[in-house]
Chains A and B, each alone.
Chain A
Amino acid sequence: MKKILYLSLSIILLLSLNACSDYLDINDNPNNPNSTVPTPDQRLMVIQTNFVDSYESSGTRACWFTGNMAKTYGTTTNDKNVKWAPVSGTTTWPYQAWFIYTADNLEPLIEKATAEEAWHYVGAAKLIHAWGFMTMVDMYGEMPYTEALTEKITPKYDDGQTIFNGCMAMLDEAIKYLEMSQPATATKLSSGDIWNNGDVTKWIKLAYGLKARWLNNLSKKKAYDPDAVLAALDKAAQSNNDNTVMNYINVNDTKQAALRALQHQNLSSTTSRVTKWYLDLLTNTFTGGSGIEDPRTDLLVPSGQYRENGILKYVRTKGVDILNSDIRKNSGPIAYNINSRSQDMLGHKFYDENGNPSVLDIWYTSSKVTARLGDSIYTPIYSEHLSWVTNGDDRYMASNYNGKTNQIISTGTFYTRADAPGHLLCYPEICFIKAEALFRKGDKAGALTAYKAGIRAHMELMNEKLTKYDQSQFGKQVIPTAAIDNFLASAAVAQTSAQLTMAKIMQQKFIACSYSIKIGTT
């Protein structure tokens, strides 16, 4: 009996103590890889994808706050941005896209890349680290930096200077790694780089371009040094060939809807409108403007098709005057109702400025308030997405702009189409930074050259994309060289260094940076 007792006791002891470690070592999820698994290229392409969400969504918000863009009267969180009454959720999105979807992936990328000596990935990661935090500072000001992305649950906030200096140093590190050569065994940058196809020289130019951009942002600070800006510019993009661009795609696949341009995702709704202020910059119809219309106007603002005397023609949107009119106070502009096709609704739609129903169609404004009847002159910045018109069920037939025969409610705009290019950092901006720095230094002749080069470069940059569209479609046609030349020679553009003002540089820089975060810092 004692034997049984001892045997049982031993079994208990054995089972309890001995078998533990192996038996219990099962706590890694068999279905889902943990964060140490992905290769550097698998990390970088998603980091880039998510970075542009943060970066370009910051741009969207800059559009709302600077008055590039207005919205119809409403109470959603985004509508409140337009009213300068930002609420949580919409304002924190760029922050979330940066920290949650982008930044926490940089360290695993650097670790993995370092292990295989894939230095270009390390450099790219460090560049994005700097770019992301500087974007956050531009958007939000003070921000956790030194304790961010650590295990601290409530990391402390750092001031702008700490972050600025940290980011500039980080860019230097990035350049150092990008300039290193990788062993052949390391993953090639080209297999994971969705911006520059693994072209390291473009990355290095990007790093210097960013340096120049931020040094230039100091123009109102004591530390501003135009020579430092110019030195950085020398190593930045020298032509449109050196641009860093995100080439979004428009696909007929609901599973890949996220591949479309961020400004399309954020702005291409039926409630977005351009402002009078922005439209005036293009038509030069602001006070003291030349009145000469920029050839980019019908590319950057939407038009709608109206039927006049039986003939369909494009009519450019009017800009919403949010500065000098009481339209917002009077619940305007009002949204179109695109849902109803009811016969009794046909009576009130597409009113002209005088409130006269000029056109009948299935889009209408539902308001019976007289003051709002004219709101159909404000065309939505609406662009189609291929997956929205699948299954032969063209839900918004009237607005579809993929060659369908129906009346087009909006041509959309260059930067808000699903396949719009994301001009992350491009040569035109480099030109305007150069113009600014030289202008501040007193070299007005040099500034004029750079200013004119910037205008041309932006038009040429747009043409790179426009040539890919069906040239029969209004609002998607290439800007003819003659039009570029004529405009550059017109009174809309400073022709002499005496005519050149900082305001003129900024006007063109603003246009060249339309729908991007740069309009905020410009």
Chain B
Amino acid sequence: MNMNQQIRGTFSKRFLSAFAVTLLFSAGGSISAVANVPVVNDVYNVSEQLQAITIKGKVTDTKGEAIIGASILEKGTSNGAITDLNGRFTLTVKAKASLVISCIGYKTSTVAVGSSPTLAIELAEDTKTLDEVVVTAMGIKKEKKALGYSVQDIKSDELLKNKNTNVINSLNGKIAGVNVTQSGGGAGSGASIVIRGGTSLERDNQPLFVIDGMIYDNGTDVGGNSSFDGAMRTNSTYSNRVMDINPEDVESMSVLKGPAAAALYGSKAAAGVVIITTKKGEEGNVKVGFSSKFSTSWVNRYPEQQNKYKRGYYNTAGGLDEYTLQSWGEKFGADEKVYNNTEDFFQNSGTWDNSVNVSGGNKNSNFYLSASRYDQDGVIPETGYLKNTFRFNGEQKYGKFTAGANVAYSVASAEKSLTSGGLYNSGGSGAMVSAYRWPSSENMSHWLNEDGTKYRMFEGLQQLDDDVDNPYWIVNKNKVNDKTTRFTGTINLKLDVCDWFNIAYTGGTDRYTTNTRRLLEPGSGVELLYQKGMLSEDDRTYEYFSSNLMMNFKKTFGDFDFNLLLGNTIEDTKSSSNGRKAWNFVAPNFFAITNTAETDRSISQSNSRKRLIGGYGEFRAGYKNIFYATVTGRNDWTSTLPTDNQSYFYPSVGGSFVFTELIPRNSILSFGKVRASWAKVGKDTDPYVTNTYLDNPIITILGTSGFQNAWTRGNAYLKPEITKSIEYGLELRFFNGRLGIDYTYYSNRSYNQLLSPRTSQATGYIFMKTNAGDINNKGMELSISGTPIKTKDFSWDMTLNLSGNRGKVNNLLQGLEVLYVTDVQVGNAKAASFNKGNFMAISGSKYARDEEGNMILNWDTGMPTSDGLTTYEIGNREPKFLGGFNNSLQYKNWNISFLLDFRVGGDVYNGTDYFLTSIGMSKRSLDRESITTTGVAKNPATGEYEKKTYTIKDKYKIQEYWGTYYSYESANYMTKTNWLRLRSVSLSYSLPRTILKKTKFIKDMSATITGTNLLLWTNYKGMDPETSAAGSGVSGSSSVGIDYCGVPATAGMSFGVNITF
């Protein structure tokens, strides 16, 4: 009987609802059959086999119930068996062998084989596996069953299975309620993470990252000196700073999803917290680990382009004009060359990822030392990302006192270009926009003349600033570089004063400097001022210091456990930016700020500083192992709010009830718990918003300078933003933990939002800092984990995560019905949040329609019409639900893991298609020989609307239709998107210990082949629908779901080796 076949068959017939029970028993049944087959093992010699003894045994629990599926292994060999439905097994072993009996949910037991051929083995329940411990707020490890809220964590081995240089990406699909969006396939480009929807209408909604007890900045810095040198989020790719972490250093990541879990972290906790704990050395010999991986990746999906029509443009008079980069021209002739410019432009990316670590320790001390190098060439030529990291973690005990330090240093640099342009008042200085638009009739790779000068298609016909620069020119000449040097260090001190009282202190600093450099070489198609070259440099420094003192008390009185924690935290955050810019280089081909006249330079500077003091406490009580309750409170004093409001307090309360403690033990329901919590957290604001400030000095005709107020009005009455949250959950485990279900419902309301909405200009300001608006998030999370199969040689672990969130906005200011994300606008479509509507909406324009829904057409032209309003809510970018299905199959030394992730619903706006359609390069625009419009049109003679159908054949009009009228209905470019993706699949092989033993010095060795993003099924027609036009650091409703000429996402394969000495 082929077990695998049977499993597959069963699996396909009955999916999730009943799979666990079915599989368990069918597996168990089949395994007993397997166990009856005589075991043949090459390792044994004949003489040993002659001394063999056949054991018949039964495995039971402490109550005498048979244990099904327990594994019995002859110690030191791979010889073994599995118990059948009656808990029985038969195994032939050497005389005097020891048997190791193990089963999930029970303590492993070792039994010596005596002379008797029968054995009765009793396994004790292992409460530890049910009493899972997780890292919670302030790094406190707690029993999961005591928590009144949902926490999910992910361990190192799982993290490294589909290792990504950005640990955020490794969370994708693995944790319910977490929404990760990679912002494209550019080397070093960031990803955003949002947990349970956004809590701020206009500010950062990403969770707080805490590493080894210290808050770790995850900003996405655009750098540069204002948007006038190309520094906008949509115009290039930017890293999020959690990328500075070496994923190999991470021991575990714990995701605190809501305010209840994170309340102790205070001001930034509303959006959740990701707690990262790095590795420690283990007691024992010094270990040396080495891993090396080579990956190659390629663009997984290109935008849909047409390649039937050549360059050309119909002018108003109907004549075909050659003087254009649009593609409305003649059809290609049979012999004419069609260039595949876009695909030829991209290359395969190659990455070397090497890391080494040394760790060790003894009873009183341990250390961990690591170094890594990640070196990537991008899919765009001339781009790359290079990251070097170093880490030292160490700890020393002196009696009751423990001192430790964690220190990390990293240097990450990215070489890239602008992806879209228009920032220098130019026709286009963005590589992606140019690469996608380049007409198929032109050879895009011809970008230089033979003498090395720039090839200009319309040389002598137009001014330089009207040039659309060739992408090869842009990536080779107009480079954007950044380099971040980062140092983080924490010192941890702990004094165990007595068995019920300890004091812990963590002091730490996180500081980095990002140097950004943007160069425009002379001759680029940019505004006149920069045509002789421009260099813009910017140094941004971030410095953060934190101090955290905690006292923990614990005491047991009879059946009651009490814990009290009191703490104080101080944070000081400073950031500064110094920029300089110069243009008109004097000496040719030498690009330096100093190589310019003093009048052709400018500088900029900004500083900001913020301080926060917090006092917090937590009281926990537990009764037996049944009831748990937790109360927390925290008061913050922030420098950024007005003096009267700078102190604010917020509490939380939560509890759990393990009801299975009150019902008799049984073999089906092993654990059951209900939980509930309520929390309130405050969030302060950014520095310097309580005052109104001035614009830069303005030169007047007197030749002297004066001042005007900036267009944002400060507010001396601001209050903190508050999020209130309520959460209920149910946790069940069956069959001794082989199947687990964790369900959560939550409802959050964030109010007193700190906004700077557009106000009536009669206030004297365009924006005014104010408190207004609510976001309500409601959602559910379901996590099912199971081990459907567990045999001696084969096991299958799986986890299914599902979550859905609904984010709605309410109570915006009177007259303010929509809030926009400043950087994200493509055509008429914008990322927007609507009052009494969706938080993650898309706004846009619509065709004019009559009451019956007929399109109102122009009587003369037959073209659709529009009322010109661009503020309709046309879509919602928030998915209905999303999730991941993670599997690990182990057969002897082989492991296959795969992660499927999926998303259902959620609109994606294809801005790339919009752009390509407007210039005749999209597949959609192939429909250009004849166009039919149907609707009603107003007869000017009668003044009445009549039903009309127009067939338009005029080339100019068709071009106008695609270029202008079609986009009146913004939703034409929108897709309600679903996807299923094979996010990762990996096959690894670990060399058996028996072989490694012979080498004496290699402890572990494994090789892994991983495929990333290899399969994607989606109804979306453009590039990868996991997209965000403006990258990772966008505030408010973000740019997720807006696809606009970004670097396409990639798929890849990698081969890696891990060795431990």
Report A's interface with B, CB cutoff 8 A. 1, 4-5, 8-9, 11-13, 15-17, 19-21, 23-35, 37-38, 41-50, 87, 92, 95-96, 99-105, 108, 143-144, 147-155, 192, 194, 246-249, 254-256, 258-259, 331, 339-342, 366-369, 391, 393, 395
Q: Contact at A29–B763, with CB atoms within 8 Å?
A: no
Q: Contact at A339–B463, with CB atoms within 8 Å?
A: yes
- A8 with B763: in contact, given A27-B690, A49-B701, A194-B701 (CB under 8 Å)? no
Q: How far is the CA of A87 from the CA of B813 in the complex (A)?
A: 24
Residue B702, interface by CB 8 Å: yes
Residue B615, interface by CB 8 Å: yes
Q: How far is the CA of A154 from the CA of B614 in the complex (A)?
A: 37
Instruction: Tell me which of A103, A342, A366 contacts B764 (CB under 8 A).
Output: A103
List of A residues within 8 angstroms of B584 by Cβ: 391
Q: Contact at B532–A391, with CB atoms within 8 Å?
A: yes
Q: Please list 17 pairs of residues, one from A and one from B, whose beta carbons are closer than 8 Å in the complex, sorted by A's number.
A: A5-B497, A5-B501, A12-B568, A15-B568, A24-B613, A27-B687, A28-B688, A29-B607, A29-B691, A32-B606, A38-B706, A46-B708, A104-B713, A256-B699, A259-B700, A339-B462, A367-B316
- A99 with B706: in contact, given A23-B611, A31-B605, A248-B701 (CB under 8 Å)? no
Q: How large is the interface on B (under 10, 10 to 19, 20 to 34, 35 or more residues)?
A: 35 or more
Instruction: Tell me which of A4, A21, A35 contacts B691 (CB under 8 A).
Output: A35
Instruction: Tell me which of A30, A49, A154 contacts B760 (CB under 8 A).
Output: A154
Interface string of B693-712 (1 = CB under 8 A from A): 11000111110111111010
Q: Contact at A149–B764, with CB atoms within 8 Å?
A: yes
Known: A37-B694, A103-B764. 15 other contacts (CB 8 A): A20-B637, A21-B643, A25-B639, A27-B687, A32-B694, A42-B705, A44-B706, A48-B700, A100-B761, A153-B814, A256-B699, A259-B700, A340-B462, A366-B315, A368-B315
Rounded to whole Å, the gap between the CB of A22 and the closest CB of chain B is 10
A-contacting residues, B737-786, CB 8 Å: 757, 759-766, 768, 770
Q: Contact at B646–A24, with CB atoms within 8 Å?
A: yes
List of B residues within 8 angstroms of A26 by Cβ: 609-611, 639, 687
List of B residues within 8 angstroms of A194 by Cβ: 700-702
Q: How far is the CA of A9 from the CA of B549 in the complex (A)?
A: 10
- A45 with B764: in contact, given A23-B613, A33-B693, A367-B317 (CB under 8 Å)? no
Interface string of B923-948 (1 = CB under 8 A from A): 00000000000000000000000000
Q: Contact at B702–A148, with CB atoms within 8 Å?
A: no
- A150 with B763: in contact, given A104-B709, A247-B701, A341-B460 (CB under 8 Å)? yes
Residue from the set A49, A248, A369 with the largest chain B CB neighbour count within 10 Å: A49
List of B residues within 8 angstroms of A50 by Cβ: 708
- Lowest 7 A-B CB distances belong to which pairs? A104-B764, A16-B615, A144-B762, A46-B706, A368-B317, A42-B706, A24-B639
List of B residues within 8 angstroms of A341 by Cβ: 460-461
Residue from the set A19, A20, A246 with the largest chain B CB neighbour count within 10 Å: A20
Q: Contact at B814–A99, with CB atoms within 8 Å?
A: no
List of A residues within 8 angstroms of B495 by Cβ: 4
Instruction: Tell me which of A15, A17, A46 contacts B707 (CB under 8 A).
Output: A46
Q: Contact at B693–A34, with CB atoms within 8 Å?
A: yes
Instruction: Tell me which of A32, A105, A153, A259 contacts B759 (CB under 8 A).
Output: A153
Q: How far is the CA of A50 from the CA of B707 in the complex (A)?
A: 11
Residue B503, interface by CB 8 Å: yes
Instruction: Tell me which of A35, A153, A258 contacts B763 (CB under 8 A).
Output: A153
Interface string of B707-745 (1 = CB under 8 A from A): 111010110000000000000000000000000000000
Instruction: Tell me which of B528, B532, B635, B761 contacts A99 (CB under 8 A).
Output: B761
Q: How far is the CA of A43 from the CA of B700 in the complex (A)?
A: 11
- A43 with B551: in contact, given A11-B568, A33-B694 (CB under 8 Å)? no
Report B's interface with A, CB cutoff 8 A. 315-317, 319, 323, 460-463, 466, 495, 497-498, 501, 503, 528-529, 532, 549, 551, 566-568, 570, 584, 605-611, 613-615, 635, 637-640, 643, 646-647, 687-688, 690-694, 698-702, 704-709, 711, 713-714, 757, 759-766, 768, 770, 813-815, 868
Closest residue on chain B to residue A153 by CB atoms: B759
Q: How far is the CA of A30 from the CA of B688 in the complex (A)?
A: 10
Closest residue on chain B to residue A369 by CB atoms: B317
List of B residues within 8 angstroms of A103 by Cβ: 764
Rounded to whole Å, the gap between the CB of A242 and the closest CB of chain B is 20
Rounded to whole Å, the gap between the CB of A153 and the closest CB of chain B is 5
Q: How far is the CA of A38 from the CA of B710 in the complex (A)?
A: 13
Instruction: Tell me which of B639, B691, B762, B765 contacts A143 (CB under 8 A).
Output: B762
Q: How far is the CA of A73 from the CA of B650 in the complex (A)?
A: 62
Q: How far is the CA of A1 from the CA of B554 in the complex (A)?
A: 15
- A45 with B702: in contact, given A35-B692, A103-B764, A153-B759 (CB under 8 Å)? yes
List of A residues within 8 angstroms of B688 by Cβ: 27-29, 32
Q: Contact at A11–B709, with CB atoms within 8 Å?
A: no
Q: Contact at A16–B635, with CB atoms within 8 Å?
A: yes
Rounded to whole Å, the gap between the CB of A367 and the closest CB of chain B is 6
Q: How far is the CA of A41 from the CA of B704 in the complex (A)?
A: 10
Q: Contact at A45–B704, with CB atoms within 8 Å?
A: yes
Instruction: Tell me which of A15, A44, A247 contacts B613 (CB under 8 A).
Output: A15
Q: Contact at A9–B551, with CB atoms within 8 Å?
A: yes
Q: Contact at B566–A148, with CB atoms within 8 Å?
A: no
Rounded to whole Å, the gap between the CB of A348 and the closest CB of chain B is 10
List of A residues within 8 angstroms of B757 by Cβ: 153
Rounded to whole Å, the gap between the CB of B671 and the closest CB of chain A is 37
Q: How far is the CA of A11 from the CA of B709 in the complex (A)?
A: 44
Rounded to whole Å, the gap between the CB of B588 and the closest CB of chain A is 15
- A395 with B605: in contact, given A16-B568, A24-B637, A105-B708 (CB under 8 Å)? no
Q: How far is the CA of A506 from the CA of B921 in the complex (A)?
A: 56
Q: How far is the CA of A443 from the CA of B643 in the complex (A)?
A: 67
Instruction: Tell me which of A12, A108, A154 contacts B814 (CB under 8 A).
Output: A154
Q: How far is the CA of A63 from the CA of B690 in the complex (A)?
A: 42
Rounded to whole Å, the gap between the CB of A81 and the closest CB of chain B is 15
Q: How far is the CA of A265 from the CA of B640 in the complex (A)?
A: 41
Q: Contact at B497–A35, with CB atoms within 8 Å?
A: no
Residue from the set B567, B690, B701 with the largest chain A CB neighbour count within 10 Å: B701
Instruction: Tell me which of B317, B323, B503, B635 contacts A8 (CB under 8 A).
Output: B503
Q: Contact at A342–B700, with CB atoms within 8 Å?
A: no
Q: Contact at B701–A259, with CB atoms within 8 Å?
A: yes
Q: Contact at A153–B770, with CB atoms within 8 Å?
A: yes
Q: How far is the CA of A226 from the CA of B298 in the complex (A)?
A: 82
Q: Contact at A96–B761, with CB atoms within 8 Å?
A: yes
Closest residue on chain B to residue A150 by CB atoms: B763
List of A residues within 8 angstroms of B503 by Cβ: 4, 8
- A11 with B549: in contact, given A104-B765, A154-B815, A248-B701 (CB under 8 Å)? yes
- A49 with B613: in contact, given A339-B461, A341-B460 (CB under 8 Å)? no
Q: How far is the CA of A342 from the CA of B762 in the complex (A)?
A: 50
List of A residues within 8 angstroms of B635 by Cβ: 16
Q: Contact at A29–B693, with CB atoms within 8 Å?
A: yes
Q: How far is the CA of A34 from the CA of B695 in the complex (A)?
A: 9
List of A residues within 8 angstroms of B763 by Cβ: 99, 104, 148-153, 155
List of B residues within 8 angstroms of A12 by Cβ: 549, 551, 566-568, 615
Q: Contact at B765–A154, with CB atoms within 8 Å?
A: no
Rounded to whole Å, the gap between the CB of B244 and the closest CB of chain A is 27
List of B residues within 8 angstroms of A49 by Cβ: 698, 700-701, 706
Q: How far is the CA of A1 from the CA of B553 in the complex (A)?
A: 13
Q: Contact at A153–B768, with CB atoms within 8 Å?
A: yes
List of B residues within 8 angstroms of A100 by Cβ: 711, 761, 764-766
Q: Contact at B497–A16, with CB atoms within 8 Å?
A: no
List of A residues within 8 angstroms of B711 by Cβ: 100
Rounded to whole Å, the gap between the CB of A176 and the closest CB of chain B is 24
Q: Contact at B762–A148, with CB atoms within 8 Å?
A: yes
Q: How far is the CA of A5 from the CA of B694 in the complex (A)?
A: 50
Q: Contact at A24–B611, with CB atoms within 8 Å?
A: yes
Closest residue on chain B to residue A191 by CB atoms: B704
Rounded to whole Å, the gap between the CB of B709 and the closest CB of chain A is 5
Residue from the set A44, A48, A92, A154 with the largest chain B CB neighbour count within 10 Å: A154
Rounded to whole Å, the gap between the CB of A328 and the closest CB of chain B is 15
